[in-house]
């Protein structure tokens, strides 16, 4: 990319997550945030001023498309399908925040549209760009822990979601499951492959929200490993390691401040990695998106991965209603 002009990208949505993107852009000389779209004028202009970008109040304003090489979508989930479809039809590659959409049929339509147009379509799954998780995948694939038997993951923290769009089912499409669970599902699929069936249950409410505030679910992989997930906005747990993968020959744990490996052949834990760096992960996915647009590398997350993530979340919600193990649509 060094002998090419910086790619110009448009950011659709200037909410909380927009700041992480701006910081990631500031680390790159190869990418330029050219346009910010946000219907709230004060918020949109503030973000655009910080990024030295143009501001427009609506995604379909003619000026948004001028000179832009790709689109980053981070508005509320209920709008993802309409906006992503619009930009794909206009011939623009799209990097969309999770979930790709709130309904799998809409995700399938976007995947088909991107394929028809020959465009890059990525779900912004930040954990695939965390160095420790990349290292964990390598350790698993090279047999460091033998055959994986169990994966555990927890994203648990007390967060007051009252008054935020995340707690409005018409805007968010669900609660903590569709929000943090999208990360959980993609991590599991990234490390262990497709999830074939799931069983979930909703936890006790504490904030009086019309969406799920806590969720617990299990999954089985295509290869027969078991996965267990715990998600909550309602309580805090001291979890230095948000991910564990247990195999026949050892275990690895991935944490916020560092990770570690223990093999059956040794009594000692072997540390690896430096932990979670949010801005570095955002920088990684932006670069991957840009290089995929230029045909220099493959996206770390393919459109089919994004679709599968939505299908798994749908199956978990269904299983919670039926109280039965539920197969994931293929």
Type and span of the H or E element at 239: none
Task: Give the tens place of pLDDT for each residue, 250-280.
Answer: 999 999 999 999 999 999 999 999 999 999 9
Integer Cα distance of 108 and 26 in angstroms = 34
Decide: 222 and 235 in contact? Cβ < 8 Å: no
pLDDT at 3: 56
Ranges 15-19, 78-82, 224-228: which has the least confidence: 15-19
Integer Cα distance of 167 and 173 in angstroms = 9
* In the chain, domain spans: 7-127+281-297, 130-277+310-327
Q: How many CA atoms lie within 13 A of 236 on its CB side?
A: 4
Can you give the pTM of this predicted structure? 0.96
What angle do helix axes 104-117 and 80-89 make, rounded to 10 degrees? 10
pLDDT at 238: 87
Q: Which fold has domain 7-127+281-297?
A: Rossmann fold (3.40.50)
Tokens of 293: 């647009």
pLDDT at 1: 43
Decide: 131 and 232 in contact? Cβ < 8 Å: no
Integer Cα distance of 223 and 201 in angstroms = 24
Cβ-proximal residues to 37 (8 Å cutoff; 6+ apart), any chain: 10, 11, 12, 13, 14, 44, 55, 56, 57, 58, 59, 61, 64
pLDDT at 39: 97
Q: Token match 């999208």: residue?
A: 182
The CATH architecture of the domain made up of 130-277+310-327 is: 2-Layer Sandwich (3.30)
Integer Cα distance of 123 and 330 in angstroms = 18
pLDDT at 128: 98
């Amino acid at each position: 990319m060094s002998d090419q002009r910086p790619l110009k990208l448009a950011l659709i949505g200037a909410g909380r997550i927009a700041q992480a993107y701006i910081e990631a852009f500031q680390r790159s000389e190869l990418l330029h945030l050219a346009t910010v779209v946000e219907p709230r004028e004060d918020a949109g202009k503030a973000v655009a001023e910080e990024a030295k970008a143009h501001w427009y109040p609506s995604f379909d304003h003619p000026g948004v498309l001028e000179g832009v090489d790709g689109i980053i979508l981070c508005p509320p989930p209920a709008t993802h399908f309409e906006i992503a479809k619009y930009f794909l039809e206009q011939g623009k590659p799209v990097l969309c925040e999770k979930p790709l959409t709130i309904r799998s049929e809409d995700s399938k339509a976007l995947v088909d549209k991107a394929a028809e147009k020959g465009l890059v379509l990525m779900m912004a799954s930040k954990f695939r760009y965390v160095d420790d998780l990349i290292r964990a995948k390598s350790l698993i694939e090279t047999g460091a822990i033998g055959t994986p038997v169990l994966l555990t993951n927890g994203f648990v923290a007390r967060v007051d979601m009252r008054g935020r769009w995340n707690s409005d089912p018409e805007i968010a499409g669900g609660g903590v499951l569709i929000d943090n669970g999208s990360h959980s599902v993609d991590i599991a699929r990234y490390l262990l492959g497709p999830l074939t069936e799931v069983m979930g249950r909703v936890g006790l409410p504490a904030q009086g929200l019309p969406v799920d505030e806590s969720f617990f679910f299990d999954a089985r992989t295509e290869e027969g490993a078991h996965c267990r997930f715990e998600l909550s906005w309602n309580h805090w747990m001291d979890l230095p390691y948000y991910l564990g993968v247990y195999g026949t020959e050892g275990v690895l744990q991935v944490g916020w401040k560092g990770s570690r490996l223990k093999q059956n052949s040794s009594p000692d834990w072997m540390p690896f990695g430096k932990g979670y760096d949010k801005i570095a992960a955002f920088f990684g996915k932006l670069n991957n998106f840009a290089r995929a647009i230029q045909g220099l590398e493959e996206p770390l997350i393919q459109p089919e991965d994004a679709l599968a993530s939505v299908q798994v979340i749908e199956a978990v919600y269904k299983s919670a209603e039926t109280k039965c193990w539920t197969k994931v649509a293929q």
